[in-house]
Structure 1
Amino acid sequence: MWIKGNYRRNLMDMHIDDWNPEFLSKINVKEYVEALKDAGVQAAMVKGKPHTGLCYYPTKVGRMHRGLKGYDFFGDMVKTCHENGIAVIAYFTQIFDNWAYEEHPSWRLVTAEGKMMREYRHGEDFKSGRYGIVCPNNPEYREYVKACLTEMNTMYDFEGMFLDMTFFPEVCYCASCRERYKKETGKELPRKIDWKDPDWLDFVYRRDLWMAEYANFATACVKAVKPNVTIEHQFSRITGG
């Protein structure tokens, strides 16, 4: 497997919007890969779809970053890395997706205050207005994720995928979450964080199960097309309260 002995890896983390037409318009793949070679990089994590939701390749599912002007940055990176003996880990964000948030309001995560995440400003954690966050329990959003992952794995050959943000950044009270909890328990979602309340503990437990189920869903979307692609989920928030 490609991961054996592959320790020196790189990610150029670029969640870049396209409100300015110059953004990403001058990116040079040849120089980028030369820098990776100079650093002895063995695997490059290459952005395919960042938190903006704007793809760095020609997509028929969502929307491509306008600054690229149709240039297949992701595809060229995959090709050039492979030509230089560098493995590729495709980066795909989930749940944090500004484009999906704006285009599909019904997919949005809803906080206990009845707000969506981009309604906040200067708050703690992710309540800054920067990220449009959607709910992984929404069936339509899941179909979108499936379509995106199927498209990427059909169009390109890479060694691994990094599926980012596989966690709930907030307690979600959207219709999909409320319906799922009601169906599973016969109860309404608890509105108060109380670690002595059995209902709250049950909800927290179920929510972790929901996310594990979603992670398995996303993994299966990839494996259905490319069984040998390795999968990594970024679920650091699983340890948070």
Structure 2
Amino acid sequence: MATPTLAEVMAELVELEDPKTREVNARNGDDHGVHLGELRALAKRLKTQHDLARQLWATGGASARLLAILICRAFERDELDVMLREARTPKVHDWLLNYVVKKSPHSEELRLAWFADSDPVVASAGWALTTERVTRKPESLDLPGLLDGIEAEMKDAPDRLQWAMNHCLAQIGIEHAEHRDRAIDIGERLEVLKDYPTSPGCTSPFAPVWIGEMVRRTR
């Protein structure tokens, strides 16, 4: 079977476009109308095609970029930095971070660079990578220092950065008993996401509740 061209894949994405899916995604700040299940099925059929992934990313379309993430191989450090700064919609940002950056040998270098970035969306990626380390590889992390930063900055942080900092706060409380009381206290005083609407059966993202529920499950 011949390798599909960029034009052929883009035409298929147009055919998969669904107005209702786009409407639902738009509520979350995303600008694509292809059902993710169909996108994954297309990626499974295409398999890994890094050159095609690069071309898809370059189109700038959200569906094309999501597909690119699913069929790519590794990118270089500077490429990932540029891509992260281009990935402005939540789903593209999250997929790039979770499916590509976290698996990259450059993830720690990027974590340090993004963590202190002046762009709050980029900084949120640094905090997300830090949360990953809080959970999986906390050695050498300054957990009290992270809590200091969260305490000082989370309340007034832009939405996406605030969400990432709150996740880090919760994970510190969940994973590290010696810092749990302070993490809960910070959450209770700042009240970030305290009133966030939560569906029945789901855990609130309000850090004190989130920490308490996850700790309870491990006992």
The TM-score with structure 1 as length reference comes to 0.29
Larger helix share, 1 or 2: 2
Identify which of structures 1 and 2 has the higher relative contact order when contacts are C-alpha pairs closer than 8 Å and 6+ apart.
Answer: 1
The TM-score with structure 2 as length reference comes to 0.31
